[in-house]
Each structure stands twice: as C-alpha cells, then as structure tokens.
Amino acid sequence: MSSSTNTPTHHTSTIGSIGTPSRRNTELALLVFAVVIPVFAYANVGLAIDDQVPAGLLSYGLGLGLLAGVAHLAVRKFAPYADPLLLPLATLLNGLGLVIIWRLDQSKLLQSIKQAGSAAPRQLMYTALAIALFIGVLFFLKDHRVLQRYTYISMVGALVLLLLPLVPGLGADLTYGAKIWISVAGFSIQPGEFAKIVLAIFFAGYLMVKRDALALASRRFMGLYLPRGRDLGPIIVVWAISILILVFETDLGTSLLFFGMFVIMLYVATERTSWIVFGLLMSAAGAVGVASFEPHVQTRVKAWLDPMHEYLLSQAGVQDGVIHSEQAMQALWAFGSGGTLGTGLGQGHSELIRFAANSDFILATFGEELGLAGVMAILVLYGLIVERGIRTALAARDPFGKLLAVGLSGAFALQVFVVAGGVMGLIPLTGMTMPFLASGGSSVIANWALIAILIRISDTARRPAPAPAPSPDAEMTQVVRP
C-alpha cells in the first residue's frame, strides 16, 4: 500500500510518491462487501424470527448502500488519496450493528421493559447524520493542521464536554451508576464520545509545542529519564481530571480512556519510556485509590471477580445501598451459549441481558448468535481500523498529524478493549459503548467524525508531493547522451 509498490512512470523520476494510486476503486469494491454482508445478515435475522424476508430489507439495503455510496463519493472528491480500508471497515461494523439492533428490537422482552422496539430506525437516522458530519469534516477540513490553531480552545471545549453531565438539571442518570449522559431537548447525549476527539486535538497541539522540553530536560536516574517537576505539570493535571471523572461521574472507562490516550501521545511525542512508567504508576495509584472508597467502582470490581455471586445477589433482591447487577453473568452466559459457531442470527436469547442489551452489551449478542468465529472477526475488524490509523500516523509527514492520528487510533483501541474486555469479563465493566456497533447517536456520530479525521490525515500523508517547480537551471544540467 505504500508508494514503493508503485512502478515509477519513467526511469528518470526521483520522486517516488508521484503517481501514488489513489486506491479509490479498492475502497469501492470493499464497500460493496461492507454493504452486502449486513444486508444478508438482515435477511437472515428476518428468516430466523418470522420465517420471512423482512419487509424493510430493500429500504435498509438501499439506505445503507446510499450512505456508503455518498460517503465514498465524498472521499473520492475531497480526500482522493485516503486510506482505502477505513471507510469500508466502519461501514461494515455500522451495518452489522444496525442488523443486531433491529434483531433486538424484535424481542418482546426488551420491548416490554422499553429497552428496544424502535432503536433501529433511530440508529439509521443517527447513521445518516453521522455520514453527513463525516462529509462535512472532509469538506470543511481541507488540511488537518488547521486544527492546531484551536489547541487551547479544544482544551476548554473538552473540559466543558466532560463536566456537562455534572451540571444539575442537565445530567441524566440513564445507566446504572455512571453519570456520563446529558439530556437536551429530549435527546440523550454522551459528551464523553465527543470529548475523546477534542481532547486528542488539544493533546496533539500541546505536545507538539512542548515535546522537546518534555523529552530533553530531564535527569537520568536508575536507567530512566526523570522529567523535571514543572514538566510533570500537564501529566498531573490530566491525571487529576481523569480521577475526578472517576469520582464524580463514577465512570471507570472514560477516565481510563483519557489518561491512556494522553500517555500514548506523550510517549510518541517525547520517545521517552519513562513517561509510560509514570503513566502506569499513576493510573494504578488512581484506580486503587478510587476503588477503595467508591462503592460503585467496588461493585463493578466485585462483579468482575465473581459475577455469579453478584448475579445471585441481584436475583435475591439484596438491598445494601449498591445496585447488584446480573448483567456481567448474563453476558458471560450469552457468550458461552454461543460457543464456537453461535446459534445463528435471531436464534439466541441475549435479550436476557435486558438492560443496555443493544448498547453496552451488544457484543454479547454477536457472541451468542455468531459465536466465537463471529466475535473474532469483529475484533479483527476493530484491530484493522486501529492499525490503519497507526499506519496513517506513521505515514503522516507532520508531527501534529502523527500525534493526532495515533491519539485517535489509540483512544479507539482502548475503547474497544475496555468495552469488549468488560463485556467478556476480562476487566471490570464500564459504561462505554462499542464504537459503530452499539445503539446510540453520540457514539456513532463521534466515531464517524473520528474516521473522517483519520481519512483526512491519511489523504494528506499519501497525497503526492506537488510536482517540483521547473528549475531555471534545467537546461544546463541536461544529461548529454551520445
């Protein structure tokens, strides 16, 4: 995929990147698969549940195809040299997510507890909005370096977004425990999803300016470069903010995400391993400290260590001040019951998860109905998005672009790890959603914006350098051939 695979058009060329293929046709071919696979999955669900091809199949297929097509045309027009994998990968995940959301909409149990019923049409509308935003980003953001100008505005913006759920009257306690939602004009918004992107912009801009100071002014101690006290400032501030999120919004996932993203970007900017050591120490200290006095976090940890016990407590209706949730165990049962190949779409019982079955826990439905094989495929799709993002960072020619790309990809990877790991019982559960798969407008809109920025950076990175200006000395250095 790099420019070196391309044969130069004529042998005297010295600039390799001239003539880099745009790969737009590859993207289009992949997009066909990314649309056709979910359409088949959709038909499959309908046949399994009602023994007939769902009535909405045509409109769903056309809708998804149209959205993918428009997005593709926008990329072709505004970012012709962009990475060809990102758009198809995101479309495929988004399409499969829609199918599973629709599948859970059919569950009478979830309808009766108002957890599903009309989530799929809403999600399709959010997807359309997200694609519009995606195109908007590509259209208005002609060069990602423009974002560098908004470094400090981004900081303020991110802080506001993060603190919004704490504003009285605005914050909505929709999920058990975690206060990461706000409610505006009847819509529930998860500002954390947007803060992820805005913070990445701030970190990238800030670190680009300060990286030399952070990297070079240090003392060597036991093989580690210890940063100066005043340089430690920013890391302490970010650490403190993530701890505050953890304490006041009781959201383990968001704080881990932000802190992790910052450490990754700091490490890339300074190339100093010592920052990683500090980061790990501080996150460990923060996590242990908070976990020791925050009952919500403690319950999550207990449910992780012994989900069965927590399930039995919830069934027995034990009232001891904290909410005992059966979800962790229900999710494990869903995964286990799926086994290697799954029950087949529409034939599982993941509605037993009840609360957030189609958002935070949507991966469990994939696990039950598509089995180990399906979940591994999904995880590999996520892995590909992340690696294409980091590939973009490697190819980017400017440090800001590198930092922004790796920050966004790293945050995306952490989010996938935290959510999937939580649902599968690898780490304690947190209140975040699977990007693209889960039902929820904020998540799908923010993640499409994230992909748009990565596409913009990769377009800049792979765009051929402008042809060298004709040199006035050209005549004199002409090769003389006999």
Partner 1 sequence: MNKPLRRIAIFCGLLVLALLLRDNYVQYVQSDSLRSDPHNRRVAIERYATPRGDIVVDGTPITGYAKSKKNGINDFVYKRTYKDGAMWAPVTGYASQAFDASQLEKLDDGILTGNDDRLFFRNTLDMITGKPKQGGNVVTTLNAAAQKAAYQGLLSRGKGAVAAIDPQTGAILALASTPSYDPSTFAGNTNTDAKAWNKLQKKNDPDDPMLNRALRETYPPGSTFKVVTAAAALENGLYTTADQHTSTPLPYFLKDTRTELKNEGNIPCKNATMRVALRFSCNTVFGKIGTDLGKDKMQAEAEKFGFNSEQLTPVRSNASVFPKSMDPAQTALSSIGQFETAATPLQMAMVASAVANNGTLMKPYMVDKLQAPSLDVISQTDPEKLSQPLSEANAQILQSMMETVVKEGTGTKAQIPGVTVGGKTGTAQHGVANSEKPYAWFISYAKLPDGSSPVAVAVVVEDGSANRGDISGGGLAAPIARDVMKAVIDSKK
Question: How many CB atoms lie under 10 A from the CB of residue 441?
Answer: 19
**Cα angle 35, 39, 44; round to 5:** 150
CA dihedral of residues 366, 367, 369, 372 (deg, nearest 10): 120
Q: Binding segment for partner 1 among 116-124, 160-168, 177-185, 411-419 (CB under 8 A)? A: 411-419
SS3 string, 14-39, reads CCCCCCCCCCHHHHHHHHHHHHHHHH
Taking a C-beta distance cutoff of 8 angstroms, is the pair 293, 418 a contact?
no
Q: Directed axis angle between helix 327-338 and helix 362-395, to 10°?
A: 80
Instruction: Name the segment binding partner 1 (CB under 8 A); options: 63-71, 134-142, 222-230, 418-426.
Output: 418-426
Binding test (CB under 8 A) with partner 1, winner from 194, 202, 311, 361:
311
Q: Is 51 in the site for partner 1 (CB under 8 A)?
A: no
392: closest CA among 448, 463, 473? 463
Cβ–Cβ < 8 Å for 105, 118: yes
**Of these, 67, 180, 416, 434, which contacts partner 1 (CB under 8 A)?**
416
DSSP 390-425: HHHHHH-SSHHHHHHHHHHHHHHHHHHHHHHHHHTT
Q: Does 349 bind partner 1 (CB under 8 A)?
A: yes
Q: What is the DSSP letter of 186?
A: T
Identify the sign of the CA torsion 425, 428, 430, 434: negative
**Interface segment toward partner 1; rule CB under 8 A; list 35-43, 144-152, 414-422, 436-444:** 414-422
The one segment of 20-28, 93-101, 175-183, 397-405 that binds partner 1 by CB under 8 A: 397-405
**Interaction of residue 307 with partner 1, rule CB under 8 A:** no
Asked if residue 197 binds partner 1 (CB under 8 A), the reply is no
Applying CB under 8 A, the span of 278-286, 295-303, 392-400, 467-475 interacting with partner 1 comes to: 392-400
Q: Name which position in 413, 444, 445, 451 contacts partner 1 (CB under 8 A).
A: 413
Give the x-and-dash track for 317-336 against partner 1 (CB under 8 A).
------------x--xx-xx
Binding to partner 1 by CB under 8 A, coded x per residue (else -) over 111-150, reads: -x--------------------------------------
State which H helix or E strand residue 220 sits in: strand 218-221
Q: Which residues make Cβ contacts (< 8 Å) with residue 396, sequence separation at least 6?
A: 402, 405, 457, 458, 460, 461
In whole angstroms, how close is the CB of 79 to partner 1 at the nearest point? 21
Separation of alpha carbons 215 and 129, rounded Å = 42
By the rule CB under 8 A, 372 interacts with partner 1:
yes
Residue 340 in contact with partner 1, rule: CB under 8 A:
yes
Q: Identify which of residues 93 and 406 has a Cβ nearer to partner 1 in the complex.
A: 406
106 forms part of the interface with partner 1 (CB under 8 A): no
Here's the x/- map for partner 1, 206-235, by CB under 8 A: it reads as: ------------------------------
Dihedral sign for Cα atoms in the order 230, 233, 235, 239: positive
Say whether residue 463 binds partner 1 (CB under 8 A).
no
Contacts for 141-144 with beta carbons within 8 Å, 24 or more apart? 141/452, 141/453, 141/456, 142/78, 143/456, 143/460, 144/400, 144/401, 144/404, 144/453, 144/456, 144/457, 144/460
383 binds partner 1 (CB under 8 A): yes
Which one of residues 84, 346, 410, 440 is an interface residue with partner 1 (CB under 8 A)? 410
Residues 157-196 contacting partner 1, CB under 8 A: none
Q: Using CB under 8 A, which residues numbered 235 to 294 contact partner 1? A: 264, 267-269, 271
- Find the angle CA(18)-CA(20)-CA(24) to the nearest 5 degrees: 145
The only residue of 97, 192, 338, 435 in contact with partner 1, by rule CB under 8 A = 338
Could you tell me which stretch among 4-12, 47-55, 62-70, 369-377 binds partner 1 (CB under 8 A)?
369-377
Q: Are 79 and 459 in contact (CB under 8 A)?
A: yes
**Does 379 sit near partner 1 (CB under 8 A)?**
yes
Structure tokens at 390: 């980091």
On the CB side of 312, how many CA atoms lie within 13 Å of its CA?
4
CA 150 to mean position of chain CA atoms: 22
Question: How many residues form the binding site for partner 1 (CB under 8 A)?
Answer: 52
Q: Which span sits near partner 1 by CB under 8 A: 149-157, 228-236, 238-246, 398-406?
A: 398-406
* Residue type (1 letter), 5: T
* Cβ 287 to partner 1 shortest distance, Å: 17
Contacts to partner 1 by CB under 8 A: 108-109, 112, 264, 267-269, 271, 308, 311-312, 329, 332-333, 335-340, 349, 352, 367, 371-372, 375-376, 379-380, 382-383, 386-387, 390-391, 393-394, 399, 402-403, 406, 409-410, 413-414, 416-417, 420-421, 424-426
